[in-house]
Amino acid sequence: MSQLFASPDEPRPASADPQGAVRSDPEAHGSTESPQAHGQPAASDGADVPGDRVFGAPAPRSEASSEYVVPAVPAPQLRPVPPRRGIGATVVISSLLLGLVGGLGGAAAWQEWGPADSSVTNQAVTLPVSSSNGTSEPAEGSVAAVAKAALPSVVQLEIKTSTGDSTGSGLVIRSDGYILTNNHVVEGASDTVQVLFSDGQMEDADVVGTSPAYDLAVVKVDRADLVPLVLGDSDAMVVGDAVIAVGSPLGLESTVTTGIVSAQDRPVTTGRGNTASYMAAIQTDAAINPGNSGGPLLNMNGEVIGINSAVAALPGATSATGAGSVGLGFAIPSNQARRVAEELIADGSADVPAIGANLDSTYDGRGVRVVDATQTGGIPGVVEGSPADQAGMVGGDIIIAIDGVPVADPDTAIVKIRTHAPGDEVTFTLDRDGSEVDVTVTLGTLGSLDYGDGTSGDDESQ
């Protein structure tokens, strides 16, 4: 490939002109005139003029002459053409126009919608403001609505005992001052119980009656303007129903927590001996802590379906070491609480149903075994003349179901019996020598039965 300027080590072809070169030999233009005809000197002697020379030899200096020659009019010089700037100029002009229009539009918008004082030093920074006026009522059936309605009827109880002070919760059940709570809340009170209402008023209360067997108690304040809560139908609740617990956990009055019904008819026993309590409890995962005891468990209609009474704790935990909510709380069903509360208000005590049989706590087979005389040193397992005796139950019988519901241990059997009232008829399915037998027992009253050992139903007697 020929080049206008060849590199030093690249030979130039002899037969071809360099591309783009201007030849100075006459043959190249088809002319026979000598170089002198055009004012070009001949080549010096002995010097070769290469045929592809790009530039001719410089012209010799002309001899001086005195003849004046009128100078020729110089050829007009062409003005150099500047590079084209159309696109760049257009872009610059367009940008300036856009900037001008944007600035004018922004200024107009600021004047129209900006603050009255547009000086930089006086500009105030404002954030969005809520459109709510804070006076709207909570939606019907919401947690907020239930809590708002229930809180004035839930109280905190403060008790002084020989071992110190304690607090619990309670709920108004009658407008004339009656308040329902747990027996273990007021148990051992050495003085009158003080009741703190949600409006901050403090009243003294007297204990009307207690039922250790059901862990319920009623106290009364001297007021007639209270708003009672309605005791609903606990049997209508099903697992998964939403519930709300209200009370004073750890002394924090008017505390509301929420959850669901986790289980129904959960056999729960608290205490032993004369203070043992048995309940077919409503289990809930609503947060219940010490101090919630005696407060209501509400459905979403604001009705009381349980009285919060107990919590399950991790192994080794106590109220002194931090026993509290682990999502396993238990409430006394409202249907049971209603009967007991009415009897406490009327008589100061509540009847406990019983059948008049001793149950074997050492038996680990199927069902619940009624003890026989060989296990008790001659004391019969079934009290003579008791409801169980009259129904035909005998020592050694194994109770496998009550009203068709299987039972597996003495506590479960007692809990199931105590869901009823004295005088109710209950069907017991027995395993007697390998055969199933159904007997109908009309429940009696625990305090009226003599088990022959000086007790009236404690320590697995029922």
The pLDDT tens digits for 29-62 are 444 444 444 444 444 444 444 444 444 555 555 4
Sign of torsion over alpha carbons 241, 247, 249, 252: positive
What mean pLDDT is predicted for residues 256-279?
89
How do residues 188-206 score in pLDDT, each as one tens digit? 888 889 999 999 999 999 9
Minimum mean pLDDT among 74-78, 293-297, 400-404: which range? 74-78
What mean pLDDT is predicted for residues 210-216?
96
CATH T-level fold of 234-347: Thrombin, subunit H (2.40.10)
The predicted model scores a pTM of 0.70
For strands 368-369 and 353-354, give the pairing. Answer: unpaired
d(Cα 207, Cα 181) in Å, to the nearest integer? 10
Contact 186, 161 (CB under 8 A): no
* Catalytic positions: 184, 215, 293
How do residues 58-91 score in pLDDT, each as one tens digit? 555 544 444 555 555 555 555 554 444 444 445 4
- List the chain domain ranges: 143-221, 234-347, 353-448
The number of angstroms, rounded, from the C-alpha of 266 to the middle of its chain's C-alpha atoms is 26
With a CB cutoff of 8 Å and minimum separation 6, the contacts of 21 are: 4, 52, 54
Residue 57 is given by DSSP the state P
Distance, first Cα to last Cα, the chain: 122
Q: For the domain 143-221, what is the CATH code?
A: 2.40.10.10
CATH T-level fold of 353-448: Pdz3 Domain (2.30.42)
User: Tell me, what's the pLDDT at 146?
Assistant: 97
d(Cα 51, Cα 36) in Å, to the nearest integer? 17
d(Cα 29, Cα 103) in Å, to the nearest integer? 67
Residue 183 has pLDDT above 50, yes or no: yes
Minimum mean pLDDT among 86-90, 243-247, 386-390: which range? 86-90
What DSSP element (H or E) covers 100? helix 86-113
SS (H, E, C) 264-306: EEEEEEECCHHHCEEEEEEEECCCCCCCCCCCEEECCCCCEEE
User: Tell me, what's the pLDDT at 336?
Assistant: 96
Q: Hey, do 234-347 and 353-448 end up sharing a CATH topology, with the first three levels equal?
A: no
> Can you read off the two tokens belonging to residue 266?
């959960």
> Can you read off the two tokens belonging to residue 415?
């809990």
- Percentage of the chain lying above the pLDDT 90 cut: 55
User: Tell me, what's the pLDDT at 205?
Assistant: 96
Quick check: helix, strand or coil at residue 386?
coil
What mean pLDDT is predicted for residues 309-324?
74
What mean pLDDT is predicted for residues 382-400?
94
User: Residue 210 forms beta bridges with which residues?
Assistant: 217
User: Residue 220 forms beta bridges with which residues?
Assistant: 178, 206
Residue 125 is given by DSSP the state -
d(Cα 20, Cα 11) in Å, to the nearest integer? 17
d(Cα 230, Cα 112) in Å, to the nearest integer? 61
d(Cα 206, Cα 194) in Å, to the nearest integer? 9
Cα-Cα-Cα-Cα dihedral of 236, 237, 243, 249, to 10°?
A: 90
User: Tell me, what's the pLDDT at 95?
Assistant: 54
> Can you read off the two tokens belonging to residue 339?
């009967």
d(Cα 286, Cα 260) in Å, to the nearest integer? 7
How do residues 153-173 score in pLDDT, each as one tens digit? 999 999 998 888 889 999 999
Reduced DSSP (H G I as helix, E B as strand, rest coil) percent helix, strand, coil of the chain, to 5? 20, 25, 55
